[in-house]
Amino acid sequence: MENYKHILLAVDFYEHCEAVASRANDLAVKYQAKLGIIHVVDSLPITDAGYGADIPFNLDLTTELMAGAKKRLSKLAEKMGVPEDRQWLEMGSPKSEIIRVAEENKVDLIVIGSHGRHGLALLLGSTANGVLHHATCDVLAVRLQDD
Ligand code: AMP
């Protein structure tokens, strides 16, 4: 098997995300691979049928969320020595965006946590599950335990 050349770390900035980052970093060093980081801001609902009428898309809130996410991503990237052109801040479905960015940038290994925001009760979180099923490259799901 060839060495990995381009590793993509998917971070949700939830608890335990440092363990996932540390594993991605170790692998990048081991394989002398390029390391990139992606964070996806979940798309906000534009409408809520429960209120009977459309809720206007909140541009201020979106801008604020993106700015906050950008700061956290830049801070982590700086700590890990990841250059700006390998930092991806996207908006949409985490699973779809992780897969899209991986394909467009010829990533050969995605490193993801087994669980994040969507609950340790599940064997695999929904993002991890979706990426494992649909990615065209290798995926490492770092086992995260609830302690
Ligand atoms: P989950 O499926 O939400 O329990 O999360 C499992 C893993 O998917 C996390 O540990 C992250 O590696 C990744 N992940 C989840 N949400 C995001 C997100 N919004 N952006 C980037 N990676 C994510």
The predicted structure's pLDDT at residue 115: 81
Domain that holds residue 30: 6-143
Identity of the highest mean pLDDT range in 14-23, 46-55, 72-81, 125-134: 72-81
Calculate how far, in angstroms, residue 40's C-alpha sits from the geometric centre of ligand 1: 8
pLDDT at residue 121, as a whole number: 57
Number of domains the chain contains: 1
Distance (Å, whole) CA 107 – CA 138: 9
pLDDT value for 57? 60
Pairwise CA distance, residues 78 & 84, whole Å: 9
- 112 CB under 6 A from ligand 1? yes
pLDDT tens digits, 41-89: 987 655 555 555 555 566 778 888 999 999 999 999 999 999 999 999 9
Does any domain span residue 1? no
Would 24 be classed as within a structural domain? yes
Task: Identify the CATH number of the domain in which residue 39 sits.
Answer: 3.40.50.620
